[in-house]
Amino acid sequence: MTIWRRILVEKRAAIIPLALGVLGNIAAYVLWVYPLGVKSAGAADRATMAALGVQNAEREFTAAKALVSGKARAEEALSTFYDKVLPADMGSALRLTYTTLPAIARKVNVRFVSRKIDTDPPKKDARLGVLKTHTQWTSDYESFRRFIFDVESAPAFVIIDEVTISQQDPAKPLSVTLSMSTYYRLGANGN
């Protein structure tokens, strides 16, 4: 008899319960512990995914609130622009170009020469009309630079579309042609 067989025969009373215990432990691990571990790991993964989902939802909610408040601020700014900055009608737009611009020019020593007004007919269902003004001025370069700065810094809503500067004789002042636009609100009937 070999040594292992002899040990099994002589110590059978101790080895069989030990072997059954090891087999029982293996069976318990395979049938209970391992499935519970997998289930527990799956629950932890689901909890992590749920936490990430909550963070994403909170981030989207914050972005949506910012969008709503940004839209409200934009609507408020647009309302202020329409009510306080934009000329109320064509008459106000004409007064803006007839009085405000020459007053600014006198302040900075720019001489007014001529003016031509163009109005585009309003398009159907338009909310704004356009008044285009083509003016000619004479001055030295520094005065004209200050004039442009003051026009663009003034609260009056005027867009400078084109500037043409010419000088026929170096001893004479610059001749400046300035094309400007301003928009005004149209009434309910398009006027």
The three-class DSSP label of residue 173 is coil
Q: Are 157 and 119 in contact (CB under 8 A)?
A: no
Q: Where are the domains of the chain?
A: 3-82, 90-185
pTM value > 0.75: no
pLDDT given for residue 189 in this prediction: 46
Beta-carbon contacts of residue 84 (< 8 Å; ≥ 6 apart): none
DSSP 29: I
**What is the CB neighbour count within 10 angstroms for residue 106?**
12
Tell me phi and psi for residue 152, to 5 degrees. -75, -25
Q: Over the stretch 37-84, which tens digit does the pLDDT of each residue have?
A: 777 777 777 888 888 988 998 999 999 888 888 888 888 888 888 777
Which two structure tokens, joined as six digits, stand for 8? Answer: 């099994």
Quote the CATH superfamily of domain 90-185.
Ribosomal protein S6/Translation elongation factor EF1B (3.30.70.60)
> 33-37: long-range contacts (C-beta < 8 A, 24 or more apart)?
none
